[in-house]
Chains A and B, each alone.
Chain A
Amino acid sequence: MTKEPLKRAAGATAVMLALLAVTFVMVMPYLWMAVSAFKTNTYFYSHPTTLLFWADKDSQGAASPAALRNVTLINFAEALDPRTGRMGRYLFNSLFYATIVTIFQLFFNSLAAFAFARLKFKGRDAVFTLFLATMMLPGAVRLVPEYLVAVKLGLADSLPGVVLPNLAGVFGIFLLRQFFLNIPRDLEDAAAIDGAGVLGIYWRIILPLAKPALITLGIFVFMAEWNNFVWPLVILSDWDKYPVTVGISLFRDEGNIFWPKIFAASVMGSAPLIALFLVAQKYIIGGIALSGMKAQ
């Protein structure tokens, strides 16, 4: 009996060590990027892979705390400068687009997913397959026709132009459908007996129970829209409307790419995503206790 806590502690330690190792592998590139964002241009080109400034040696070969001189905030300052980097505006734009798209997608996708998972209507499976099929054609050949459609609809260089094509997504519909299929029918039948209509079932039963899935989807959609590059690039020309992705790609000219500035901008551009994820991932853990069912 005394072996039990020891075994459990050993198991837990093993898991933690493994997780830490994996975490390091996952986090390292981002870490490198974040550290490099604090380097001056000169220092970055001469010491691209240094992670610890003070571990670096100066030209005399001695470890030098003066290496800390190379730590600079200038990349962040330039990135945020409204005349050059303009990250403030781009961050706002990205937040704006991503919020709109997420809200609409959660709504539209869940409606459709509910229909595919629960409602029986003619051609349901065929339509779902057709939806799924839209994901299978590479974007490169769809770009120009979609752009033409948008221009003909008068959406060039506008907010609806950026946002409209993404207000619904098959990824989301598919994800939610799989989750809805996991929800026991008994709850709905109970609600139906109580007189709830289809809309009521959707709004009162399915949505609340699918909260982990909805939050997960919300994160993914937000992230996808935040990282969207090609479509905003093509539909927008006014840099006041550029999202973060397009704005960051301007930190270059023909030959050079200004890495430290790009890193600083990327750190700022991804910080909201990380914050969002940290806040939201708690809600992905729920736990279903169907003790209520047993009382029947």
Chain B
Amino acid sequence: MGPTRHRRPARALTKGGYTVQSGRMRTTFEDVVKWAAAALVGAFLAVGGVYYSRGGQIASNKTVIRVWDWWSPAGYKEIGTYFNTIEHDFEERHPDIDIRYQFIPFGTQYTQKLMSAFAAGDPPDAFQCSVSWARDLYDRGIIADLNDFVATSPDVAMDQYFPITREYLAKDGRIFGVPTSMDSNCLILNAGLCRKAGLDPSPHAIDSWETFVAYAEKLTVRDEGGRILQAGFPVTAIAERSSEIWPWLASEGLSFYTDDMMSTNAATPQGIRAMQLLYDLLNVYKVSFPPGTEIQADNLFIEGKVGMLRGGTWMGYEIFQTAPDLDFVMTTFPPGPGSTERGAITWVNMMMMPKNCRHPKETWEYLRFYGGLENALNMLVILNRNSARLDFYDTPEWRAKVAEHPYLAMLPEISAAGRVAPYKRQQEMDEAFVPFYQRAVLGTMPIEEAMKEANARVEKVLEGSWADQLLREMDKRAEAGQ
């Protein structure tokens, strides 16, 4: 294994069989392996580069509309079918437009990416937006007003939809969104468990908070040690959001925010009663699983361990997928002591267009198609989602679905009874409110005090920062300038 001699004698310095020297050395087996590996990697990069550039969306000479959405085919297969269907239908009717869907994961990732794109001046042409962010984005003046477009397309005018749509999609008469589907918080009953406990699972059977508590107690099953095996109504104590209290305020006839969106109704007598109910359910009647970060009420309901759930009207589809034998009923929350009407929370997510959209006319064509009845029926048939459109509920397709799944019959009523979800500054509000909600429901702070403190904090959030002041000034100047 000696070194070959060349121009000058080389010193051999050995390390574990590997020879290092400053002259030329004979090729060893290791060298062959090295060169083969390097060649392999090089080949991979070369071939891979070609394959990589082949994928991706090919340039097209049509007008390309980029649409962002978090509904991704990876979640539900049917979503792939849905997008393919509407892309095909739309592009057939508009041969000069090419729709490109881009899927972004929901949540912080979606907002992060959206904000970065706006900051860089590179937003998509259309994107789906949750009510949690929509108004704040619009307030910042980066979202297009759709009034002129809507004027030319009466089939997507605001009067075509449930009245509550106006609350979320318009501000002072300026429309900035096209509705996607309508979702509501509702009370879901496990009908099988109800019948087993001798209770009537029909939608209007629970007519007051007292009846509700009675149901919850009867639906709670404990073992000999007192551990809860089946919860009558799970109360999420360690929560990330304030949504636990919204329906109970609704059953008292109030939305979470006051009408001017500058304060909450949590510290009102109704709010305090609602919190008291939650506290009692958790600590006095003990119809809920004990507080813990791992409790996920939705999953437990699907597992069949929960009698009544604060759920959503969109959950039907998931229940069919995961627990097809679960017999459930969706209904509104019973009226509270201060009200005679049943309550729920309803909101409408939407598609939006940025203000500096590169192809506003073409994008509007897509949005108009998206908000129309045909697309609503596509969403129903393929995705089991219900629309905010009023005419939707008169169609044969809807009636067929209701015949197939009777729980759907309650959806229009639930949506109509819906109060407004707090859509302004939702994340910051939750951060301010939730610690006090937790203290109140766990009993470490008196309810009234906690709610007053929480309300004060939320008021500060809703007042806004320097940015909101600036926006108000800019608005005033714009108005004055006109």
Contact = CB atoms under 8 A, between A and B. Distances in A.
Interface in A123-167: 143-144, 147-148, 151-152, 156, 159
A50 to B, nearest CB: 13
Given A92-B51, A289-B15, A258 B75 contact: yes
Given A144-B116, A238-B56, A286-B16, A84 B77 contact: yes
A89 interface: yes
Contacts of A205: 20, 22
Contacts of A281: none
A76 B72 CA distance: 17
B120 A191 contact: no
A173 B109 CA distance: 30
A162 to B, nearest CB: 11
B480 interface: no
Contacts of B113: 233-234
Contact of B41 (A99, A252, A258): A99
Contacts of B22: 190-191, 194-196, 200, 204-205
A239 B56 CA distance: 8
Q: How large is the interface on B (under 10, 10 to 19, 20 to 34, 35 or more residues)?
A: 35 or more
A238 B15 contact: no
Q: Tell me whether chain A's interface is mostly helix, strand or loop, or mixed.
A: helix
Interface string A193-207: 011100010001100
Contacts of B120: 147-148, 151-152, 156
A241 B312 CA distance: 34
A243 B296 CA distance: 30
A273 B11 CA distance: 39
A268 to B, nearest CB: 13
A152 B122 CA distance: 10
B1 interface: no
Nearest to A287: B16
Interface in B33-68: 41, 44-45, 48-49, 51-53, 55-57, 66, 68
A240 interface: yes
A255 interface: yes
Contacts of B103: 239, 250
Contacts of B104: 233, 237
Given A240-B55, A240-B56, A143 B322 contact: no
B130 interface: yes
A43 to B, nearest CB: 10
A175 interface: no
Interface string B1-23: 00000001011111110101111
Interface string B272-308: 0000000000000000000000000011001110000
Given A151-B120, A250-B105, A208 B41 contact: no
A253 B303 contact: no
Contacts of A54: none
**The 4 residue pairs across chains A and B that have the minimum distance between CB atoms:** A249-B105, A240-B55, A250-B74, A151-B120
Interface of B: 8, 10-16, 18, 20-23, 41, 44-45, 48-49, 51-53, 55-57, 66, 68, 70-77, 80, 100, 102-106, 109, 112-113, 115-116, 119-122, 124, 130, 298-299, 302-304, 312, 314-315, 318, 321-323
Interface of A: 41-42, 45-46, 78, 83-86, 89, 92-93, 95-96, 99-100, 103, 143-144, 147-148, 151-152, 156, 159, 187, 190-191, 194-196, 200, 204-205, 208-209, 211, 230, 233-234, 237-241, 246-247, 249-256, 258, 261, 286-293
15 contacts: A46-B304, A84-B73, A93-B52, A144-B115, A147-B120, A156-B122, A190-B13, A200-B22, A204-B22, A208-B18, A211-B18, A241-B55, A249-B105, A254-B106, A288-B16
Given A83-B73, A292-B14, 5 more contacts: A156-B120, A233-B113, A249-B109, A250-B75, A251-B75
